[in-house]
Amino acid sequence: MSALMQEMSAKALKLNIPLSVQIDLTYRCNERCVHCYLDHHDHGEMTTAEITHLLDEMADAGVFILTLSGGEIFLRKDFFELLEHARRLMFCVKLKTNAVLIREREAARLRDLGVDSIQISIYSHRAEVHDAITLIPGSLKRSLDAIRFLKSQGLKVTIANVLMTQNAQDYPGVRALAAELGVECTLDPTVTPMMDGDRGVLNLGADQNMLRQVFRDTSLVGDVEEFCAIPAKPGEDDLDATPCSAGHTACYVSPYGEVFPCVQFPLPTGNVRQQRFVDIWRHSEQMNDVRSIRLKDLTTCPSCTHVSNCTRCPGLAYLEGNMRGPSSQDCGKSYARTGVPSANMLAKERAGINPLQGNSGSASLVQIRVLPVVTSATA
Amino acid sequence: MSRLYVARNPRVAARSLDGEMMIMSGRDSTLFTLNKTATILWQSADGTTPLDEIVEHRIVSEFQVEAAEALQDAETLARELASHEILQISEEPFPQRNNAAGESRSGESR
């Protein structure tokens, strides 16, 4: 994040403005990825009119960065109508897609509409691995063709590479492919429990050995010694910090109008079909509860060695039953990085529980973003 | 001397944050914040109002400055914003746009 964007985020936090919102336009999808947490059925998606009205409300509330995701966004027949409306309102629009439905014409339209960036899921540089994850033969070729169409229009593309047991050894190949295509690449071994509560998919997630390997890959983390160092003891200021931007400057809206602090934090705070977006944002009891949490208020983490640089996700903690509790996935991540068990892991060990097991059997999680190249200026 | 017309570049993203205008370049995603004068210029850049009228009606009265000097400063500022592809400038009025991004609002939140 650029220094100027950090400054703007700090200002938005102070003013209680939702600077960044993700809307999932649909949960329907044309791929059937083995690790996906969605059910892909339409349970009554917001209509075109409902979404355009929501976009109006969000612009008025001060939302600047709008991420449109799904499901597969291009399955909405009104997708370009919604995008046109969003750009008319001058949102900075980012898209997340598998890109299977993007051909030359769609790429040109995205350029004409001034889309900021497009994130595309690529699981492997090898078709037999990628297509075995999406369960759609030919899907890698379609997605890579789309990347070339988008690049030929001068659009900014990022490959999102989810790291799982099935493709664990392929991330260097995906990164090489990204370099060849001239696009950025992110690595994300996040596997989320399914919407219906089924946590079986978590077995597909990266294990400790994979995490250790990734954390010691200089091409991803830079200085390994620094990245894997045991953190210094936290100061008072560290413990007064907020856990993340969810509910503070960012939130998520589902295809059914439900508002959550984040796509990975399914705490219901209201529905835009019944209330104005800004009223949910400002006055929801649940949203304000999330906002009130400081690191010092957490149940186990304040005494943990890792507290000052842990990537604890409050949404994953919520999915384990307590948004003020630890996120076992992130404990696993800190452990893989430093070799030092977290306070949560030590407590579990004393209780005779597998220290890396989440309260509901969750898997390890790590999120790494590489190649963040952003500049800033003031006119 | 020919008149100058200014229009918001439809490829940028923009939002007002407590009166401070944030603009993200459509060219390379560089983020800018505009000062008060630049914000007025941005908000007034409808493509059909000449720059001298914008200066006369929006800037001279707001900042109590001499008109000729204000116009010269505004031209310099407009050209700088155009070099970052935030504004477009022309010696002719811009045709009314009918594409989606071209009809954009100024990014003001209410």
- The residues pairing with A93 across neighbouring beta strands, listed in sequence order, are A66
Pair type for strands A258-260 and A270-271: antiparallel
Total CB pairs under 8 A between chain A and B: 101
**Nearest alpha-carbon partner for A306 in A266, A265, A340:** A340
Cα distance between residue A336 and residue A348, in whole Å: 17
Do residues A100 and A147 touch, judged by C-beta distance below 8 A? no
Q: Which residues of B touch A93 (CB under 8 A)?
A: 13
Cα distance between residue A121 and residue A183, in whole Å: 13
Contact assignment for B110 to A113 by CB distance below 8 Å: no
Backbone phi, psi, residue A330, to 5°: -75, -30
**Nearest alpha-carbon partner for A254 in A69, A41, A39:** A69
Dihedral sign, Cα of residue A177, residue A179, residue A181, residue A186 = positive
Nearest neighbour of B107 by CB, restricted to A90, A116, A376 = A90
Amino acid at A68: L
3-state class (DSSP) for residue A290 = helix
Contact assignment for B26 to A114 by CB distance below 8 Å: yes
Residue-by-residue pLDDT tens, chain A, 379 positions: 788 888 899 999 999 999 999 999 999 999 999 888 888 888 899 999 999 999 999 999 999 999 999 999 999 999 999 999 999 999 999 999 999 999 999 999 999 999 999 999 999 999 999 999 999 999 999 999 999 999 999 999 999 999 999 998 999 999 999 999 999 999 987 777 776 667 777 788 888 898 999 999 999 999 999 999 998 888 878 888 888 899 999 999 999 999 999 998 989 999 999 999 999 999 999 999 999 999 999 999 999 999 988 889 898 888 888 999 999 888 989 999 999 999 999 999 998 888 777 665 333 323 333 323 333 344 4
Cα distance between residue A191 and residue A185, in whole Å: 18
Whether A115 contacts chain B with CB within 8 A: no
Closest Cα in chain B, distance from residue A250 (Å): 15
Please give the DSSP secondary-structure letter assigned to residue A353.
Answer: S
Contact assignment for A378 to B32 by CB distance below 8 Å: yes
> Considering the entire predicted model, what is its pTM?
0.90
Amino acid at B73: D
> Is the CATH number 3.30.930.10 carried by domain B5-88?
no
Whether A59 contacts chain B with CB within 8 A: yes
Q: Which residues of B touch A17 (CB under 8 A)?
A: 17-18
Looking up tokens 């746009």, which residue turns up? Answer: B97
Cα distance between residue A329 and residue A190, in whole Å: 9
* Helical spans, DSSP H, in B1-110: 36-44, 51-54, 61-63, 67-83
> What is the length of chain A?
379
Backbone phi, psi, residue B63, to 5°: -110, 0
Task: Using the CB atoms, write b or e for A340-370: b if 16+ within 10 Å.
Answer: ebbbbbbbbeeeeeebbebbeebbbbbebeb
Looking up tokens 């295509």, which residue turns up? Answer: A181
